[in-house]
Amino acid sequence: MPDNFAQDSVGLVTPQTFHFDEPLILACGRTLQSYDLIVETYGELNPQKTNAVLICHALSGHHHAAGFHHADDKKPGWWDAYIGPGKPLDTNKFFIVSLNNLGGCHGSTGPTSIDPDSGKPYGANFPNLRVRDWVHSQARLMERFGIKQWAAVVGGSLGGMQAMRWSLEYPDRVRHCVVIASAMKLTAQNIAFNETARRAIMTDHNYNDGDYLQHQTLPQEGLSIARMIGHITYLSDDGMGQKFGRELRSGSFAQGIEEPVEFQIQSYLRYQGENFSKSFDANTYILMTRALDYFDLAREYNDDAAQAFRQAQSKFLVISFTSDWRFAPERSREIINALMKADRDVVYAEIESPYGHDAFLVPQQVRYWDLLTTYMQKIEVSC
Amino acid sequence: MPDNFAQDSVGLVTPQTFHFDEPLILACGRTLQSYDLIVETYGELNPQKTNAVLICHALSGHHHAAGFHHADDKKPGWWDAYIGPGKPLDTNKFFIVSLNNLGGCHGSTGPTSIDPDSGKPYGANFPNLRVRDWVHSQARLMERFGIKQWAAVVGGSLGGMQAMRWSLEYPDRVRHCVVIASAMKLTAQNIAFNETARRAIMTDHNYNDGDYLQHQTLPQEGLSIARMIGHITYLSDDGMGQKFGRELRSGSFAQGIEEPVEFQIQSYLRYQGENFSKSFDANTYILMTRALDYFDLAREYNDDAAQAFRQAQSKFLVISFTSDWRFAPERSREIINALMKADRDVVYAEIESPYGHDAFLVPQQVRYWDLLTTYMQKIEVSC
């Protein structure tokens, strides 16, 4: 079977589900009595258990980061370009753990799961989560593997927020913290886009106050709009222009009765929105965007990010992309400034890229690849 | 009564409605047999009729650009800061004509008007309009006043597109063309935002394929989302940050059962969206955004903007604002480059401003004020 896959692919992978019975007290004050986390791992945990890397996913991500579930899958996991034997997150060296976060809709306990108290899907009654709740649940997962310290915690965007929070919540359990295209807190504009996306979902006629599963409806139109907003903001203006320009589907403007979809970008966006709305849960989308909005690294450290990072013991790699306007390089420079002020060990690179915020996922970017490779190769795992 | 108003206000104004019976053949191939245009004028037309200035409005604008309709109106017209005695568009010198465009929802014939053929509101059956259709209807309005040539045609954003189109369609009828925060065509990103806004309206359960008036429903939720998207993109990231930051409404995050509206920016956006959705017609919004998308100044001039501008006989003033990312300064520089290549007479200024695309409407911007004033003062009206 491995013959079917490229040499640098992790090949076929099978997710595992871990059940947790110990109650998890959440930042919002509520408690999850029990929950499941669905997980994939790539590579082998070494006997000293010092080579484990945690991958934290972004807004719409999940546990399936690399490899294939079936030999005939058309697409591999979402970060397959950077995970595998000989790749930057080298599975010949590292044992990589990738999970679907709590509140997700790909197998971990979330709004579509059955609430044991009511026997019905949680729906809108699933608790709001903060980034720290994910970090705490990931720490328990770590214990299941018997891992005492991650060689690295790695994440882009919302995943980078988790990596930073790890460095503050469990300083002695993280050796390296890799923060890609992220921020210590969202700007007002970012919150505004998220708010508009949530409104689109919540005002969908089929949303039913979040209990759409009980009503056997799905707020697909609203979720589709939300995804379209997201998608525009994850690409750069120039990148979008290069990809689509003002190309017309038909070659010329319709005359007489007008055809409403005329530009390539329109049909592309509609397709993206509709596709996403069939495969993602609307309440999870709301929950994930709220976690983004609420994240504020320094809030409980007197709004002093340097004071926050003085808790950290890990080393840091921070990466931003020039055309990313949703998590602009300026946001990464703020992280760097705080880390330097806190006298932490940090490497920063701003990568030239036309791909906007999505750049952290885009394959074949040489400098990004080289940088990640070089940094990850230097990490000691035989300590 | 004028005692109630500031000395530099045009004071009380009364709109007039002009009825047109001569059929208007539209760019889409359809014909409007008859239509109304609602108009306001400020200042006096001189005997030679050489001091007339046409104001073209943007996406959500209308004829009420300056002064007050009632002595107790809280707000004046949308460009009152720049129109009046002693202001840049000086009513002591100019006779200013401001109309609601065809397809609008403030008194000119549009989707909410009764279609004489069916006896019902046009709704979604109102023809799609292009910028040139507006220019043609404005030319007829001009003839009603007996004006042979505008001293200037002035517009921001979509209004600037009308001003440019005027200079090509009726070269001998425009002496000066003032193009503010505009573009010769939208970028793919701009089209994408417009498409998402339209989708939000058209997927609203109450849209009813555009015939909501006949169904006695209004797609207010969708229109509200559309306005929220627009509003975010008309402000700059920094400007929004300065105005709202991450200020919480309550001072701290809610605990336990979460309050869904926590950030100031959220409640502000919701208020803006809801307010707009009560006062604006959804089909008009769709029509106006399509006109924006379709506008492509050089399309029928072999995609050569210089070739297009060689038709023009007017002089040009082009203004952009540094923080405007929806109609970025780069778009204005493209206009300038084409005008220079076409050997036209042009003044360009990029104004430092934190207000994003909305800057063209924002009062008390000294350099913008001075520039407009200086340029308009130099315009000869006694020729």
Q: Please write the tens of the pLDDT for every residue from B212-230.
A: 999 999 999 999 999 999 9
Give me the percent of chain B exceeding a pLDDT of 90: 92
Q: pLDDT at position B246, please? A: 79
Confidence class for position B253, pLDDT limits 50, 70, 90: low
Whether residues A102 and A161 fall in one domain = yes
Note the ipTM here.
0.92
The position carrying tokens 């204005």 is B332
Tokens of A201: 């979902």
Q: What's the confidence (pLDDT) of residue B51? A: 98
Q: What is the pLDDT of residue B257?
A: 42
The verdict on residue B321 lying in a domain is: yes
B31 and B91 in a single domain? The answer is yes
Task: Return the exposure string of A41-73: e unless at least 16 CB atoms fall within 10 Å of the residue's CB, then b.
Answer: bbbebeeebbbbbbbbbbbbbbbbbbbbeeeee
End-to-end CA distance of chain B: 35
- Residue that wins the pLDDT comparison between A264 and B169: B169
> Does residue A383 fall inside a structural domain?
no
Q: Look at residues A257, A289, A321 and tell me which one is the last residue of a structural domain.
A: A289
**Of A273, A289, A305, which residue is a domain's last?**
A289
Say if A184 is an interface residue toward chain B (CB within 8 Å). Answer: no
**CB atoms inside a 10 Å sphere around CB A129:** 25
Of B259, B275, B339, the residue nearest B307 (C-alpha): B339
**Any B CB within 8 A of A334 CB:** no
Of B137, B157, B332, B353, catalytic = B157
Q: Does B383 map to a domain?
A: no
Strand order in the sheet with A315-321: A16-20, A35-42, A95-99, A52-56, A152-156, A176-180, A315-321, A346-351
For residue A366, give every residue at least 6 positions away whose Cβ sits within 8 Å of its Cβ, in sequence order, or none: none
B382 among known catalytic residues: no
The span from the CA of B218 to the CA of B204, in Å, is 9
> Catalytic residue numbers of A?
157, 324, 357
The answer for B 222-261 residues in CB contact with A (under 8 A) is 222, 224-225, 228-229, 232, 235, 237, 240-241, 243-246, 253, 255-256, 258
Which of residues B35 and A257 earns the better pLDDT score? B35
| pLDDT per residue of chain A (383 residues) written in tens, 0 to 9 | 445 789 999 999 999 999 999 999 999 999 999 999 999 999 999 999 999 999 999 999 999 999 999 999 999 999 999 999 999 999 999 999 999 999 999 999 999 999 999 999 999 999 999 999 999 999 999 999 999 999 999 999 999 999 999 999 999 999 999 999 999 999 999 999 999 999 999 999 999 999 999 999 999 999 999 999 999 999 999 999 998 887 766 655 554 444 456 789 999 999 999 999 999 999 999 999 999 999 999 999 999 999 999 999 999 999 999 999 999 999 999 999 999 999 999 999 999 999 999 999 999 999 999 999 999 999 999 85
CA–CA distance, B371 with B368 (Å, rounded to integer): 5
Minimal Cα–Cα distance from B339 to chain A, Å?
22
Q: How far apart are CA A266 and CA B198, in angstroms?
A: 11
Determine the pLDDT at residue B3. 57
Query: What's B258's domain CATH number?
Result: 1.10.1740.110
Mutate to test the interface with B, among A129, A190, A261, A266 (most CBs of B within 10 A): A266
Nearest CA in chain A to B231: A192
Query: How confident is the model at residue B383, as a pLDDT?
Result: 57
**Residue B147 sits in the same domain as residue B229:** no
Helices (H), B145-187: 158-169
A27, part of any domain: yes
Q: Are residues B250 and B233 in the same domain?
A: yes
Option in B196, B237, B263 nearest A293 (CB)? B263
Q: A218 to chain B, minimum CA–CA distance in Å?
A: 13
B330: its two tokens: 């780069």
**Pair (B249, B320) in one structural domain:** no
- Note whether A266 contacts B: Cβ–Cβ < 8 A: yes
**pTM of the predicted structure, to 2 decimals:** 0.94
Same domain, A268 and A213: yes
**Using CA atoms, how far apart are residues A285 and A61, in angstroms rounded to an integer?**
11
pLDDT digits over B84-133, tens only?
Answer: 999 999 999 999 999 999 999 999 999 999 999 999 999 999 999 999 99
Buried b (16+ CB within 10 A) or exposed e, A311-324: ebbbbbbbbbbbbb
- Active site (annotated) includes residue B172: no
A241, amino acid identity: G
Q: How far apart are CA A290 and CA B260, in angstroms?
A: 9
Does pLDDT of B313 surpass 90? yes
Q: Do A59 and A98 share a domain, yes or no?
A: yes
Verify that A66 and A215 share a domain, yes or no.
no
Which pairing describes strands B152-156 and B52-56: parallel, antiparallel, or unpaired? parallel
Residue B207 lies in a domain: yes
Q: Residue B114's domain is classified under what CATH number?
A: 3.40.50.1820
Which of B289, B316, B341 terminates a domain? The answer is B289
- Residue A246 falls within a domain, yes or no? yes
Average pLDDT over residues B29-37: 97
Model confidence at B260, in pLDDT bands (50, 70, 90)? low
B196·A30 Cβ contact <8 A: no
pLDDT above 70 coverage of chain B, percent:
95
Q: Which of A187, A171, A209 is nearest to A315 (CA)?
A: A171
Residue bearing tokens 């070739």: B307
Contacts of B228 in chain A (CB under 8 A): 192, 195-196, 199
Mean pLDDT of chain B: 94
Which of A191, A193, A240, A295 should one mutate to test binding to chain B, selecting the residue with the greatest count of B CBs within 10 A? A191
Helix (H, G, I), strand (E, B) or coil at B153: strand
A232–B199 C-beta distance less than 8 A? no
What average pLDDT score do residues B162-181 get? 98
Q: What's the pLDDT score for residue B231?
A: 94
Nearest to B196 among A232, A246, A263 (CB): A232
Residues A179 and A204 in one domain: no
Q: What is the pLDDT, as a whole number, of residue B261?
A: 60
DSSP annotation string for B85-125: TTSSEETTT-EEEEEPPTT-SSSSS-TTSBPTTTSSB-GGG
Q: Determine, yes or no, domain membership for A116.
A: yes
**Claim to verify: residue A255 and residue A323 sit in the same structural domain:** no
**Contact between chains at B228 and A199 (C-beta distance less than 8 A):** yes
Do B19 and B81 lie in one domain? The reply is yes
Domain that holds residue B267: 191-289
Number of domains in chain A: 2
Same domain, A250 and A107: no
